[in-house]
Amino acid sequence: MSFKREGDDRSQLNVLKKRRVADLLSNYIPEDEATIMSNGYTCLVCSYGPVFDTVDMLTVHRNGKRHLELKRFYRKKAQLRNEIVKRKHESYIQSEENSQEASSSAPLLAQTRKLTHHALLRTVPYNSCHRKTAGWIQDRSGQWLKDDNVEFDSDEEEP
């Protein structure tokens, strides 16, 4: 049963595509294992991507030793990946529970840590080019100038 077509009749091409889809569905081939291409069916499990003319040939291939070994390998790989994600999630939950227990046993300590952390995040990093002290600004040459935006008492002197 070959799907070779002659000519370029669009309706005939659509009929052949529908027949190929029906063949795939009739043999219960999962979508992640095979796909329909313009020149036949291709196996998505095997790395070398073999192409087959008919669904029957694809079915024979799917029962082959190499295909089954690769399928088993990918299944184990997916299980391992899922196990890693599961363990990371469990460790994250455990660390969250531990941090909540620590904060519940010493709420003042947890509050102090939180305030200190936020205070450190709010401070502006030191800039050696521009220093400011109580209304006085030091320019790049090291001279102290009055800040125009600040009100001064008449008795204040330069630093």
Q: Is the pLDDT of residue 132 over 60?
A: no
Q: Is the pLDDT of residue 95 over 90?
A: no
pLDDT band at 84 (very low <50, low <70, confident <90, very high): very high
Write out the DSSP string of 128-142. Answer: TT-EEETTEEE-TTS
How many Å apart are CA 159 and CA 5, to the nearest integer? Answer: 95
Mean pLDDT, range 13-41, rounded to an integer: 79
Angle formed at CA 15 by CA 9 and CA 18, multiple of 5 degrees: 145
Q: Is the pLDDT of residue 107 over 70?
A: yes
Sign, Cα dihedral of 46, 52, 55, 58: negative
Output the pLDDT for position 81: 93
Q: Enumerate the H helices of 31-153 as residue ranges.
A: 55-62, 65-105, 107-122
The helix (run of H) or strand (run of E) holding residue 19 is helix 10-26
Angle formed at CA 42 by CA 40 and CA 45, multiple of 5 degrees: 170
Largest CA distance in the chain: 105
Mean pLDDT, range 87-115, rounded to an integer: 76
Percent of the chain with pLDDT over 70: 70
Output the pLDDT for position 122: 56
pLDDT band at 32 (very low <50, low <70, confident <90, very high): confident
Q: Is the pLDDT of residue 13 over 70?
A: yes
